[in-house]
C-alpha cells in the first residue's frame, strides 16, 4: 500500500526536479539575456556600462557621450527624432526608450522587439531603475552590487551633512550667458532637488512643486539664498560669475558662496550621481570635508 502510494509521489517529485533544472538551464542560457541592446536614454547607457553590460550595447542616442566607450558606437537619433529604420536595421533584442516615445514603442512592439520603458524620476528611482534594467539585461547580480554601492555612497554623504545647518540654496540649472536673464532653477521635484537636499541644503524653491522654476531678479533678491550653486554642463566651459555682482545684497553673493560646478554628472540621473552629490555637499558644507 505504502509502496503503491510512494511510487507515483517519487516520480512526481523527480519530474518536478527535472522541470526545475530545465527552467534554471533555460534562464541561465543566453537565450533570455539580450545581447543587442540599443539605448536612447543617456542615463540608461551609463547604467548599462556601470553594471558591466556595456558589451551588449550596439547603438546609443545622439546625445550619448559617456562613458568614452560609447563614442565609437552607431547613433540612432534621440528622444524626439529616433531613427526607427536604423534601429530596426541593427536587429536589437532590447531597446531602452523614454516614456514619451510611444510611437516608437508601438513600432518596436509590432516588430516583436522588447522595450524597456523609462522616465526620469527622483533620486531613489535611479537605483530602482538600475536594478530593473539589470534584470532586463541579464545582469541582476551586477546591478544589485552597483546599486548597493551607489546607495552606500549617497548614505555616506547624507550622514556627513546630517545635523548641520541647512543653508537655503539656489540650484541654477541654466541662464542666459553673461546675465541673470531666463534663470532656471530646480524646484521641489526631481532628482536634482533630492540631491541638493541630500547634500545638506534646503532648496530655495522647495515650495514650488515643479522640476524647474524660472527665477526673476525680484524673486532672487527677495528669497535671498545663502548659497548659490551655478551648474554648467554640455559645452559651457568658462565660468560666468560677473553677472552675480548686480545682486550683491544676496547673502550668497556677499559672502562669496556662489559655487561654479561643472560637468554632466550633475544633470544625468545615472551612476555618476554620487559624484554630483559629493561635489554639492563639499560646496555646501566645506567644514564636513576637511
Partner 1 sequence: MRGRVAATVAGFGGLLLVVCLVAPLVGSTPISLARAFDRSIPYADNVDAQIFFVARLPRVVAGALVGAALATAGAVLQALFRNPLAAPETLGVSAGAALGAILAITFASEARFGPLAPVPLASLVGALSAMTVVYLLARSTRRPLSTSVLLLAGVALNAFISAMILFVQYLADFTQTYRAVRWLIGDLDVGAMGPIVASLPVLLSAALLILWLPSALNLLSVDADAAAARGVHVIRVQRMAFVGASLATAAAVSLSGPVAFVGIIVPHLVRLVVGVDHRVVLPAAALFGATFLVLCDLVARTLLNPVELPVGIVTAILGGPFFLWLLVRKR
**Which residues between 51 and 90 bind partner 1 (CB under 8 A)?**
63, 79, 81
User: 231 forms bridges with which residues in the sheet?
Assistant: 261
Among 16, 23, 141, 221, binds partner 1 (CB under 8 A): 221
Q: Residues 224-243: x/- map of binding to partner 1 (CB under 8 A)? A: x--------xxxxxx-----
C-alpha atoms less than 13 angstroms from C-alpha of 125 in its C-beta half-sphere: 14
Provide DSSP, 150-212.
Answer: HHHHHHHHHHHHTTS---EEEEEEE--TTS-TTEEEE-SSSHHHHHHHHTT-EETTTTS-SSE
* Helical H segments across 29-101, by residue range: 42-50, 84-89
Q: What angle do CA 174, 126, 60 make, to 5 degrees?
A: 75
Which is nearer to partner 1, 178 or 290 (by Cβ)? 178
In the complex, least distance from residue 62 CB atom to partner 1, rounded to whole angstroms = 9
Residues in contact with partner 1, total (CB under 8 A)? 36
Among 25, 216, 241, 275, binds partner 1 (CB under 8 A): 216
In the complex, least distance from residue 51 CB atom to partner 1, rounded to whole angstroms = 25
Q: Residues 150-189: x/- map of binding to partner 1 (CB under 8 A)? A: -----------------------xx-xxxxxxx-x-----
Query: Strands 227-232, 258-262: parallel, antiparallel or unpaired by DSSP?
Result: parallel
The sheet carrying 94-98 orders its strands as: 57-60, 37-39, 94-98, 114-118
Interaction of residue 207 with partner 1, rule CB under 8 A:
yes
Which is nearer to partner 1, 15 or 217 (by Cβ)? 217
Interaction of residue 247 with partner 1, rule CB under 8 A:
yes
SS3 (DSSP) at 239: coil
Interaction of residue 217 with partner 1, rule CB under 8 A:
yes
User: For binding to partner 1 (CB under 8 A), which residues are involved?
Assistant: 63, 79, 81, 173-174, 176-182, 184, 207-208, 213-214, 216-222, 224, 233-238, 246-249, 254
Amino acid at each position: 500500500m505504502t509502496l503503491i502510494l510512494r511510487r507515483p509521489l517519487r516520480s512526481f517529485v523527480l519530474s518536478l526536479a527535472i522541470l526545475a533544472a530545465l527552467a534554471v538551464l533555460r534562464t541561465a542560457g543566453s537565450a533570455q539575456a539580450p545581447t543587442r541592446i540599443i539605448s536612447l536614454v543617456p542615463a540608461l547607457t551609463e547604467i548599462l556600462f556601470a553594471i558591466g553590460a556595456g558589451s551588449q550595447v550596439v547603438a546609443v542616442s545622439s546625445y550619448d557621450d559617456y562613458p568614452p566607450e560609447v563614442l565609437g558606437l552607431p547613433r540612432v537619433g534621440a528622444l524626439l527624432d529616433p531613427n526607427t529604420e536604423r534601429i530596426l536595421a541593427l536587429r536589437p533584442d532590447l531597446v531602452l526608450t523614454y516614456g514619451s516615445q510611444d510611437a516608437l514603442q508601438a513600432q518596436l512592439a509590432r516588430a516583436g522587439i522588447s522595450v524597456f520603458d523609462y522616465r526620469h524620476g527622483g533620486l531613489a528611482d535611479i537605483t530602482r531603475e538600475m536594478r530593473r534594467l539589470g534584470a532586463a539585461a541579464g545582469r541582476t547580480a551586477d546591478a544589485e552590487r552597483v546599486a548597493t554601492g551607489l546607495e552606500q555612497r549617497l548614505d555616506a554623504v547624507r550622514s556627513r551633512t546630517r545635523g548641520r545647518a541647512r543653508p537655503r540654496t539656489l540650484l541654477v540649472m541654466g541662464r542666459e550667458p553673461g546675465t541673470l536673464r531666463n534663470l532656471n532653477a530646480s524646484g521641489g521635484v526631481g532628482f536634482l532637488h533630492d540631491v541638493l537636499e541630500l547634500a545638506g541644503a534646503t532648496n530655495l524653491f522647495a515650495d514650488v512643486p515643479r522640476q524647474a522654476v524660472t527665477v526673476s531678479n525680484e524673486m532672487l533678491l527677495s528669497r535671498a539664498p545663502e548659497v548659490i550653486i551655478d551648474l554648467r554642463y554640455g559645452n559651457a566651459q568658462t565660468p560666468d560669475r560677473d553677472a552675480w555682482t548686480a545682486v550683491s545684497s544676496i547673502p550668497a553673493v556677499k559672502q562669496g558662496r556662489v559655487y561654479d560646478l561643472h560637468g554632466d554628472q550633475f544633470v544625468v540621473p545615472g551612476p555618476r550621481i554620487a559624484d554630483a552629490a559629493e561635489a554639492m555637499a563639499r560646496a555646501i558644507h566645506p567644514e564636513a570635508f576637511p
